[in-house]
Amino acid sequence: MKKIIQKLLLLASVMILIPVFQPQTVAAATEPELNAKAAMAFDEKTGQIMYSKNTDEKVAIGSITKIITLYLVTKAIDSGELKETDMLTPTKEQADMTQEAELTNVRLDADKTYSVKNLYSAAWIVSSNSAAMMLAQKVSGNQKSFVRLMRRTLKDWGINDAKIYNVSGLNNDDLYNGMYLGNKDNENKLSVNDIAIIVKHILDEYPEVLKTTSQAKLEFPVDGETKTYNSLNLLLKDQRDYQEGYEFDGLKTGTTKKAGESFVGTLPMDGTRVVTIVMDVTGDESDNDKRFRSTQNLARYVKENYTRTKIMTPGDKVDTKYTPQKDVYMWLPSDFDLGSLKYEKSKNDLGFKTTYNGKTVKLNAINSPNGYIPYTKTEKKIKIKKVATKTTNWWDNVVHFFTNLF
């Protein structure tokens, strides 16, 4: 009897201790509902990726092309090669394109001039194709030369296999001769990794572009009056798909028959800036909100499954010898073991600064949950060719008048 009681007491003790030694299980984060061919969410400041899908696959990008175009236009304005007050006149072809139902947004007339500032806003806010073409021509003299500048820029950034044929993102078969390189069936294509590199460059160098991309309305001169157009970014405040707590302030839509509907978004989150990319979002053709709904799902996924965590302070030591120069943060899942992080010298221009033997050394976590974008900062100065303004005589003006009369 005594032995039976002892066994029962032992069994009870074991039953009590089982919950203590049972390993903790954490439910895996639910995949966001994106319906996108390729996608990514990353921290714009650090390049850390929180979500990725098919990031190496080359996909048609549509008007996301204009991020590259407008990066170079912004550089030209910043360097003084182009002034916001410069007045430009569209060609007859560029003006005609703004009358076509599938290609139009702001109307341009071949007998009128428009300021660089207005064209720049129109290209960003409502994705005006002709405005982007006019700006590109002003910078490089013609669109073909500007496309070559785009290609050189991407190569400088380590993007060696980009497929860029025109400045607007339209299919080449929608364009007139002189507006593109390559064949009529060519279309601009990049990978999500490529797009991430491009976005980091423009937001690092020219964060002021957000002052333009955050505008929900565009005011543009038409027939001597100012006409108001809604931004194509429906996630902005006061737009149809805006959600409080997700304060998107950019960046660019992309739409063509081949590219489908895509969107590159950006918003402040937890003291930093997050970039979202969704490419070729599928769904009902009449559903004009699907890319924005997918973007919201992606942003919500980051906010609900990751925490921007302080992983070290200047008083800490990394591998007993590297001293962080300031607080270091990472996006980590709730079940991530902070002590498991391992570090190495950065192989690119990402990473946090530390001091070792009086020198600055950049480190990166080699086992962060999803890695980093393949970003390398270029030290090369991209040369913007200054194009002299063409002077016209009275005969040129007569020819121009009758050319555009019919």
Q: Which amino acid is present at 233? A: N
Distance CA 122, CA 221 (A): 11
Q: State the residue range of the domain holding 321.
A: 309-365
Identify which of 122, 245, 103, 118 has the alpha carbon closest to the alpha carbon of residue 175: 103
**332 in a structural domain:** yes
- Partners of 60 in the beta sheet? 189
DSSP-derived 3-state class of residue 160: coil
Distance CA 388, CA 138 (A): 9
Distance CA 348, CA 198 (A): 15
**335 in a structural domain:** yes
Distance CA 63, CA 69 (A): 10
**176 in a structural domain:** no
Cβ-based neighbours of 135, under 8 Å, separated by 6 or more: 69, 70, 73, 82, 88, 116, 119, 120, 123
**292 in a structural domain:** no
List the pLDDT tens digit at each of the 406 positions of the chain. 545 555 544 444 444 333 332 333 333 458 899 999 999 999 999 999 999 999 999 999 999 999 999 999 999 999 999 999 999 999 999 999 998 866 668 999 999 999 999 999 999 999 999 999 999 999 999 999 999 999 999 999 999 999 999 999 999 999 999 999 999 999 999 999 999 999 999 999 999 999 999 999 999 999 889 999 999 999 999 999 999 999 999 999 999 888 899 999 999 999 999 999 999 999 998 999 999 999 999 999 999 999 999 999 999 999 999 999 999 999 999 889 999 999 999 988 899 999 999 999 999 999 999 999 999 876 556 666 555 444 444 554 444 444 434 3
**92 in a structural domain:** no
**270 in a structural domain:** no
Number of structural domains (the chain) is 1
For residues 96, 97, 101 and 105, what is the CA-based torsion angle, rounded to 10 degrees? -110
**50 in a structural domain:** no
- Partners of 263 in the beta sheet? 253, 278
Is 252 annotated as ligand-binding?
Answer: yes
Cβ-based neighbours of 324, under 8 Å, separated by 6 or more: 312, 313, 314, 316, 318, 352, 353, 354
Take residue 87 and report the two structure tokens written for it.
């007045």
**275 in a structural domain:** no
Cβ-based neighbours of 53, under 8 Å, separated by 6 or more: 34, 36, 38, 39, 40, 192
pLDDT at position 27 is 37
Which residues are marked as active site?
63, 66, 127
Take residue 234 and report the two structure tokens written for it.
């429906």
